[in-house]
Structure 1
Amino acid sequence: MEYLRTPDSCFSNLPDYDFTPHYIEVDDFEGASLRMHYVDEGPKDAPVVLMLHGEPSWSFLYRNMITQVSQQGFRVIAPDLIGFGRSDKPTKQTDYTYQRHVDWLSNLISMLKLNDITLVCQDWGGLLGLRLVADYPNNFARVCAANTFLPTGNESLGKAFHQWKEFSQQVPIFPAGGIIKGATTTELSEQVINAYNAPFPDESYKAGARVFPLLVPASPQDPASVPNQQAWQKLKQWRKPFLTAFSDSDPVTAGGDKIFQKLIPGCQGQQHTTIKNAGHFLQEDQSEVFAKVVIDFMQNNK
Structure 2
Amino acid sequence: MQVLRTAEERFAQLPDFAYAPHYSDIAHAPGVTLRIAHIDEGPRTAAPVLLLHGEPTWSFLYRKIIAGLVAKGRRAVAPDLIGFGRSDKPAAREDYTFERHVRWMTDWLDATDLRDITLFCQDWGGLIGLRLVAAMPERFARVIAANTGLPTGHGATPAFDAWLNFSQTTPIFPTSQIVNGGSVRELTQAERDAYDAPFPDETYKAGARAFPALVPVRPEQASVQENLAAWGVLERFEKPFLTAFSDNDPITRGGERVFQARVPGAKDQPHVTIAGGGHFLQEDQPEQIAALIDSFIARTS
- TM-score, normalised with respect to structure 1: 0.98
Kindly state the Cα deviation for residue 30 of structure 1 after the two structures are TM-superposed.
4.8
SS at match of 1:145: strand
- Counterpart in 2 of 1:260? 259
SS at match of 1:206: helix
SS at match of 1:143: strand
Q: How many residues align?
A: 301
Deviations 1:166-208 (A, max 9, x none): 1011111100000000011111101101100000010000000
- Counterpart in 2 of 1:28? 28
- TM-score, normalised with respect to structure 2: 0.99
- 1:120 equivalent to 2:120? Answer yes
CA contact (8 A) 1:220 1:226 kept: no
Deviations 1:32-71 (A, max 9, x none): 2011100011111101110000000000000000111122
Percent identical among aligned pairs is 52
SS at match of 2:77: strand
Deviations 1:108-143 (A, max 9, x none): 211111110011000000000000000000000000
- Counterpart in 2 of 1:161? 160
Deviations 1:225-278 (A, max 9, x none): 000000001101110000000000000000011111011110112111001011
- Counterpart in 2 of 1:59? 59
- Counterpart in 1 of 2:78? 78
- Counterpart in 2 of 1:130? 130
Quote the Cα distance in structure 2 between the aligned partners of 1:89 and 1:198. 13
Unmatched tracts of structure 2, length 5 or more: none
SS at match of 2:29: coil
Amino acid at match of 2:75: R
- 1:185 equivalent to 2:184? Answer yes
Kindly state the Cα deviation for residue 218 of structure 1 after the two structures are TM-superposed.
2.2
CA contact (8 A) 1:39 1:59 kept: yes
Kindly state the Cα deviation for residue 220 of structure 1 after the two structures are TM-superposed.
2.0
CA contact (8 A) 2:58 2:84 kept: yes
Root mean square deviation of aligned Cα? 0.8
Unmatched tracts of structure 1, length 5 or more: none
My pick for the range that moved more, 64-73 or 246-255, is 64-73
CA contact (8 A) 1:20 1:39 kept: yes
Quote the Cα distance in structure 1 between the aligned partners of 2:46 and 2:33. 29
